[in-house]
Amino acid sequence: MKKGMELQKIGENRHSLDVRGMVCPYPQILTLRALNNISPESVLEVLLDNPPSVKDIPPVLKEKKYAVKVSVLDKGTWKIVVKLSDNVSCK
């Protein structure tokens, strides 16, 4: 895996996954893998630049009972914030 695409701890119960430069299905696969490797109380921030992934990942996560918030960081870069949907706050 390329440097920067590993799961990074960025705070207490907060992790980041940078999958910029990757195309489907890898951002989704790595996001789901990351969610399996962090505690249920944790929030995951996924940075990506693949428009199809931005469209496809949120419905898959919502189906798995995650709360999802997508925001635009700049032209062509998005951040998806993910947390289990119980008492969710995706700030």
Whole-number CA gyration radius for the chain: 12
Q: Which distant-in-sequence residues (6+ apart) come within 8 Å of 63 by Cβ?
A: none
Which positions are annotated as active-site residues? Answer: 24
Distance CA 22, CA 41 (A): 27
